[in-house]
């Protein structure tokens, strides 16, 4: 049975968590009007606010991030018409961003915006040239052949049982003009890409930790997107993915990324059991 001291401590911790959440929640509510200018027609600012508040409740670490960085991530998601932490379209991830002030490095908890592979799929189908898109996982016992060059081809025949470990991922895009393109990456290439391009790669809240397969699919899809006819939305998505922004603009594409990608010292501590995010059946992306 819990003692009075333990009950008091738990109550105090709950109150502290509510107090931490309040500044961000108030800021989100106060930004409703500006958010309305940012979201596309198929989303409402009220829905984005509800999703944002739910996101904070599901991951209390976001309440410890600077309100400006959380709002920056929310506005980026809104402008791309992607819903954060809903069906793997986009994610708002807390991490420790190191910044140099004078001669010293300081660490600040900030929120980073990430697009999930389903977000890129959504953006692909908005393109007027899009016909269909497919992504698959290749396992070591599958029949798998491909080649690039003047006569590119790809053949994949998964076996029905004992397929073995995952060895690669690929994405194939078909366009309305009859053209098609594909991209193949090994699992090792995908993981190295994530480690190099995601500041939150090892964070307990990162989709790279929660669902690396989904992140590898996103990685190969991004490489394919670079070969396809690009819409304005896709161009902005590629530039805004994995960014930290603390200034709000009607076009968040124009705001500078403040993520520190240098090898500066970052102090991290292992998460406790109550700090870990709830399990998810879906993950994002890269």
Task: Determine the structural domain holding residue 203 and report its residue range.
Answer: 15-275
* Per-residue pLDDT at 44 exceeds 60: yes
pLDDT band at residue 280, thresholds of 50, 70 and 90? very low
pTM tops 0.95:
no
* Phi-psi domain of 244 (left: phi exceeds 0; alpha: psi -120 through 50; beta: other): beta
> How many structural domains are present in the chain?
1
Question: pLDDT by residue (tens digit) across 95-143?
Answer: 888 877 777 778 889 999 999 889 999 999 999 889 999 999 999 999 9
| 110 is a domain residue | yes
| 10 is a domain residue | no
| 7 is a domain residue | no
| 163 is a domain residue | yes
| 260 is a domain residue | yes
Neighbours of 252 (CB within 10 A): 24
**For residues 49 and 76, which has the higher predicted lDDT (pLDDT)?**
76
Neighbours of 32 (CB within 10 A): 12
| 101 is a domain residue | yes
pLDDT at 183: 97
Question: pLDDT by residue (tens digit) across 200-240?
Answer: 777 776 778 888 898 899 999 999 998 888 888 899 999 99
| 8 is a domain residue | no
pLDDT band at residue 92, thresholds of 50, 70 and 90? very high
Query: Do residues 89 and 118 touch, judged by C-beta distance below 8 A?
Result: yes
H or E element in which residue 150 lies: none
| 196 is a domain residue | yes
Distance between CA atoms of 166 and 116, rounded to whole angstroms? Answer: 20
Neighbours of 124 (CB within 10 A): 22
pLDDT band at residue 271, thresholds of 50, 70 and 90? very low
């Amino acid at each position: 049975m819990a003692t009075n001291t333990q009950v008091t401590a738990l109550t105090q911790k709950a109150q502290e968590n509510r107090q931490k959440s309040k500044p961000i929640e108030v800021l989100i509510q106060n930004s409703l009007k500006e958010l309305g200018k940012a979201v596309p027609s198929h989303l409402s600012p009220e829905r984005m606010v509800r999703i944002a508040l739910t996101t904070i409740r599901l991951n209390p670490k976001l309440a410890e991030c600077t309100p400006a960085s959380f709002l920056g991530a929310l506005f980026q998601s809104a402008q791309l018409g992607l819903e954060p932490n809903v069906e793997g379209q986009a994610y708002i991830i807390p991490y420790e961003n190191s910044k140099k002030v004078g001669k010293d490095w300081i660490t600040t908890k900030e929120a980073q915006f990430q697009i999930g592979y389903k977000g890129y799929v959504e953006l692909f189908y908005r393109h007027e040239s899009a016909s269909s898109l497919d992504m698959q996982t290749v396992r070591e016992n599958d029949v798998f052949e491909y080649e690039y060059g003047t006569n590119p081809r790809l053949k994949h025949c998964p076996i029905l049982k004992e397929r073995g470990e995952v060895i690669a991922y690929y994405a194939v895009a078909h366009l309305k003009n009859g053209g098609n393109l594909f991209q193949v990456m090994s699992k090792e290439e995908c993981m190295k890409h994530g480690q190099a391009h995601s500041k939150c790669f090892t964070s307990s809240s990162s989709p790279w930790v929660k669902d690396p397969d989904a992140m590898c699919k996103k990685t190969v899809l991004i490489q394919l997107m670079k070969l396809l006819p690009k819409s304005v939305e896709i161009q902005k998505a590629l530039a805004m993915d994995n960014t930290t922004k603390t200034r709000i603009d009607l076009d968040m594409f124009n705001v500078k990324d403040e993520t520190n990608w240098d090898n500066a010292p970052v102090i991290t501590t292992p998460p406790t059991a109550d700090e870990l995010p709830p399990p998810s059946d879906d993950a994002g992306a890269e």
